[in-house]
A and B are shown apart, each in its own frame.
Chain A
Amino acid sequence: MPHSPLAEALRGGGWLGDTRAQMSFGPFLLLAVLEGTVMAAVLALTAVGLSLVFGVMRVVNVAHGELYMLGAVIAWFVTFYLPLPPAMGWLAALIIAPLLVAAIAALMDTLILKRLNYDPEATIVATIGLLYMLQQAALTFYGPDARPVVAPFQWRIQLPWFGYSGYKLFVVAAALAILLAVWLFMTRTKAGLVMRATQVDRETAQAFGINVDRVYAGTFALGGALAAAAAVLIVPIQQAHYLMGHDPLLLSFIVVIIGGLGSIRGTLVAALVIGLSDGIISMFFSPTLAKIIATLLVALVLVFRPQGLFGARA
């Protein structure tokens, strides 16, 4: 994994290499758990977007990682060009990026996916095409460089063993708040109810006068907005780069499948397990090995337990 947040944290904190041996096991594990939690929170946000789209529309959006990337790139543009202090600029990005990405996603749905009648295989091929189109468009307009976005605030929490970025803890809190908002939206609002009704039975929903086209466009937009929000949260920690969508896509796939396709609760549990274990496993073993195991696990889950490990039913 080229962008392991853990490896970066260790590098940034000067813990990698010879100092590593000096840190005793307990604090070392604590650091791993902290990093894993940050990763799990962002992953949960991204994966819930993917899971929502699959659950409601039965569409596997291979371009989901690129929507995430767009979120980060837009965040860079916003913070770079808007003459605002870092905190305000970042806040503006947190609003603008998800909205813009949602609009792009809604366009993708109406112009392409809808015209394919959401045929499962055709939509996968189409979203693979969109993956390359978005990625290469970013290369053209944003360029090949990785660029940083300044964090909205810079304080460190000093623990007895090491200092830890307060912003990272804020990321966890923000991700939880957004997930809570999504949950409230899905369970407490009419729009959420309509979405869930469409998920259960598209034909009946249509018969009851629900505009399925609009629900689908809205769901796809919401999925994209969640990915973009996750990216805006992460971009002060990791830089924005046109190829950054690859890893979140793969990890979201892993999470959504292991959690049980279309099950939001399973997705959250799996995000926590994968985020934490990836952080911890990567600390003690090679991150590549951790990824090999995770991808093989996903394949085997789909073959032998298609309802996922944590999902109640498919």
Chain B
Amino acid sequence: MSAGTKAWGLHLLVLALVFLAQFVLPSYHATNLARIMVLAVFAMGYNLAFGYTGLLSLGHALFFAAGLYGMGLPIWHLEVAAFPALILGLLAGGVMAGLVGILALRTAGVSFMIVTLMFAQAGYLTLLYLNSWTGGDEGFVVARSARVLFGFDLASDTPRFIAAFVLFAAGLLLCLWLVRSPFGRVMVAMRENEERSRMLGYDPFRVKLITLILSGVYAGGAGAAYGLLFGYVGGSFATIQYSILPMLYVLLGGAGTVLGPFLGALLMFYLIDITSGYTDAYFFVVGAALVALVLFAPKGILGSLRERVLQWLP
């Protein structure tokens, strides 16, 4: 079996298992899984930038929030229907990432991290500042009547799960195709050695900007879907915490692996869920996981696995 066949086979199998899980899992966990799938799409976008292209951003919450509000505000103020609102959210994520990228990509490394952090912080504060229009910190509820996609009520369990699954499957397969494509190879080349890549005829700025926009589209799509599926748009999704979480998911699952973001989101979601049953300080595990990962397993679960056994893993 070629590496390509194995890769496609594995990912289709994972998708099939996730799809079937809804028939087995109790309702509470099925809803969790829907949430995890949407967060995994966010993390996949983060992974395209960080894992494959080496762009360590601390500002992805801004792109997620752009999607969330790009979907939510038109529904709230203009009574736009769910599907066009979803597309608007997706685009808002991409446009925001493009704008940030044009400036931030003039820097690299630590400066890039801080610049993206500052832009995201400015975005969050802007949401608060324009509170009469955005709902500020409290945010707003997406009207149940607006949460209907092609006739399906997204507030009920099965359509919500399937909608999350469709987004997740599309994100995963697009990611798999992309990283196995010639452009995916160039993304990795930028991560590994930017100067060498320039001398092979690639414009680093252009490659990184395209990647960041794509990453923003993923984040925006995830944000828009999150708001639609779970019915709430709020300022907390624009805080630094939502830039850290996708980074953590990716680091845990394995940066630069297609399935890593999903695996990381799944494990971390339940780790936080279980811890929060015992203590209010459940975010401690987020901090501890970050420290432990950079110290002991910087390649994450699937990255380490690829290094040792599954060399063909994309």
Contacts and interface: CB of A to CB of B under 8 A. Distances in A.
* A–B in direct contact per CB < 8 Å: yes
Interface of A: 60, 112, 115-116, 120-122, 124-126, 128-137, 139-140, 144, 250, 253, 257, 286, 288-289, 291-292, 295-296, 298-300, 302-304, 306
B126 A292 contact: yes
A286 B136 CA distance: 14
Contact of A296 (B56, B122, B279, B293): B122
Nearest to B114: A302
B129 A288 contact: yes
B281 A60 contact: no
B290 A137 contact: no
Given A250-B121, A289-B129, A295-B122, A300 B283 contact: no
A131 B104 CA distance: 24
B78 interface: no
B154 interface: no
Question: Counting chain B CB atoms within 10 Å of each CB, which of A135, A289, A292, A300 scores highest?
Answer: A292
A20 to B, nearest CB: 21
Interface in B109-139: 109-111, 113-115, 118-119, 121-122, 125-126, 128-129
Nearest to B282: A136
15 contacts: A60-B113, A122-B294, A124-B58, A124-B110, A125-B290, A126-B290, A132-B286, A133-B284, A135-B283, A140-B281, A295-B119, A296-B118, A296-B119, A303-B103, A306-B107
Nearest to B59: A299
Contacts of B283: 132, 135-136
A136 B284 contact: yes
**Those 10 A-B pairs whose CB atoms lie nearest each other, nearest first:** A132-B287, A129-B290, A136-B284, A133-B287, A129-B291, A136-B281, A299-B118, A295-B122, A129-B287, A139-B281
B284 A126 contact: no
Given A112-B295, A292-B126, A129 B289 contact: yes
Contacts of B280: 139-140, 144
A245 to B, nearest CB: 12
Interface string B251-273: 10000000000000000000000
Interface string B277-314: 00111111011111111110010000000000000000
A130 B109 contact: no
Contacts of A291: 125
Question: Counting chain B CB atoms within 10 Å of each CB, which of A60, A116, A133, A137 scores highest?
Answer: A133
A140 to B, nearest CB: 5
A257 B111 CA distance: 10
A133 B288 contact: yes
B148 interface: no
Contacts of B7: none
Nearest to A253: B114
Contact of A302 (B58, B115, B121, B244): B115
Given A135-B287, A250-B121, A302-B107, 5 more contacts: A126-B294, A140-B281, A286-B129, A299-B115, A302-B118
A197 B279 CA distance: 46
Contacts of B122: 292, 295-296, 299
Contact of B56 (A121, A130, A288): A121
B106 interface: yes
Contact of A137 (B106, B118, B284): B284
A304 B107 CA distance: 9
B73 interface: no
A137 B111 CA distance: 29
Given A60-B110, A129-B289, A299-B118, A116 B281 contact: no
A40 B40 CA distance: 43
A299 B281 CA distance: 32
Given A112-B291, A116-B295, A128 B118 contact: no
B236 to A, nearest CB: 13
A131 B288 CA distance: 10
A303 B284 contact: no
B104 A303 contact: yes
B285 to A, nearest CB: 9
Nearest to B128: A288
Contacts of A133: 284, 287-288, 291
B109 A120 contact: yes
B247 interface: yes
Contact of A295 (B103, B125, B279, B287): B125
A111 to B, nearest CB: 9
Contacts of A140: 279-281, 284
Contact of B125 (A112, A292, A299): A292
Contacts of A306: 107, 111
B45 to A, nearest CB: 18
Contacts of B56: 121, 124-125
Contacts of A135: 283, 287
Contacts of A304: 106
B116 to A, nearest CB: 8
B290 A132 contact: yes
Interface in B235-252: 244, 247, 251
A288 B280 CA distance: 29
A69 B107 CA distance: 31
Given A116-B295, A122-B294, A257-B114, A299 B104 contact: yes
A292 B128 CA distance: 10
A116 B294 contact: yes
Nearest to B122: A295
Contacts of A302: 107, 111, 114-115, 118
Contacts of B104: 299, 303
A304 B102 CA distance: 12
